[in-house]
């Protein structure tokens, strides 16, 4: 991360990363496919934690609330305690189109995994797809606000706020529709 911040992602080589970490390049490549993967190596653990949280949610909870609650519970572990590092990582990603593409792939994989997990829970296909897509959108919006927030509100809090804002959009649309009649 220090190298990426010091000299930029494109200018940083695997050899430099390995040297800074006290590794050989060979050892580095045993752990990471390329220099991109250093920034995304925690993704599988995050996804599995989210899915475990979904599995532990009672079936009586709505699919969207299940997804949002899973993000909230995992953010306490994965994001909130490491805010400074996560913000640095995101600044590197935001500055590099190739990393932005990788981030989009990661989010798409997360959406697909949530869709599959909701289907296993017996949720209808269209509802599972909608809950997974909207849940990940809530995560994206809350995460972006969290990264840019100087008040240092927790991601957990912003996830709750963003989910409430989404619900209020629906309520506002319903009220506006009634008012137009």
The answer, yes or no, to whether residue 97 has pLDDT greater than 60, is yes
Describe the chain by its helix, strand, coil percentages, rounded to 5: 80, 0, 20
Sequence-distant (≥ 6) Cβ neighbours of residue 129 within 8 angstroms: 115
Where does 121-151 have alpha helices with state H? 125-148
Q: What is the mean pLDDT of residues 105-121?
A: 97
Share the mean pLDDT of the chain: 91
Gap between the Cα atoms of 139 and 116, Å rounded: 18
Sequence-distant (≥ 6) Cβ neighbours of residue 127 within 8 angstroms: 63, 118
> What is the pTM (predicted TM-score) of this model?
0.86
CATH architecture of 39-180: Orthogonal Bundle (1.10)
Q: What is the mean pLDDT of residues 92-117?
A: 95
pLDDT at 181: 53
Question: In this structure, which long-range contacts are made by residues 79-86, counting pairs with CB atoms below 8 Å and at least 24 apart in sequence?
Answer: 79/143, 79/146, 79/155, 80/154, 80/155, 80/156, 83/146, 83/152, 85/1, 86/147
- Per-residue pLDDT tens over the stretch 41-83: 889 999 999 999 999 999 999 999 999 999 999 999 999 899 9
pLDDT at 150: 73
Q: List the domain boundaries for the chain.
A: 1-35, 39-180
- Per-residue pLDDT tens over the stretch 128-177: 999 999 999 999 999 999 999 877 799 999 999 999 999 998 776 555 55
- Per-residue pLDDT tens over the stretch 15-46: 999 999 898 989 988 888 888 888 888 899 99
- Cα 10 → chain centroid: 23
Gap between the Cα atoms of 51 and 1, Å rounded: 28
Instruction: Output the CATH code of domain 1-35.
Output: 1.10.10.60
- Cα 142 → chain centroid: 9
The answer, yes or no, to whether residue 6 has pLDDT greater than 70, is yes
């Amino acid at each position: 991360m220090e190298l990426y911040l010091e000299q930029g992602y494109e200018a940083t080589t695997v050899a430099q990363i390995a040297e800074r970490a006290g590794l050989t390049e060979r050892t580095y490549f045993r752990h990471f496919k390329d220099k991109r993967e250093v920034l995304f190596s925690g993704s599988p653990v995050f996804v599995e934690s989210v899915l475990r949280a979904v599995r532990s949610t009672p079936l009586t909870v709505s699919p969207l609330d299940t997804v949002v609650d899973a993000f909230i519970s995992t953010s306490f572990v994965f994001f909130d305690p490491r805010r400074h590092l996560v913000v640095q990582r995101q600044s590197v990603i935001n500055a590099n189109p190739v990393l932005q593409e990788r981030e989009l792939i990661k989010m798409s994989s997360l959406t697909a995994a949530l869709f599959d997990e909701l289907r296993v829970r017996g949720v209808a296909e269209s509802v599972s797809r909608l809950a997974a897509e909207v849940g990940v959108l809530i995560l994206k919006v809350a995460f972006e606000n969290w990264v840019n927030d100087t008040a240092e509100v927790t991601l957990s809090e912003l996830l709750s706020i963003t989910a409430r804002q989404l619900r209020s959009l629906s309520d506002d649309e319903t009220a506006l529709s009634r008012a137009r009649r």
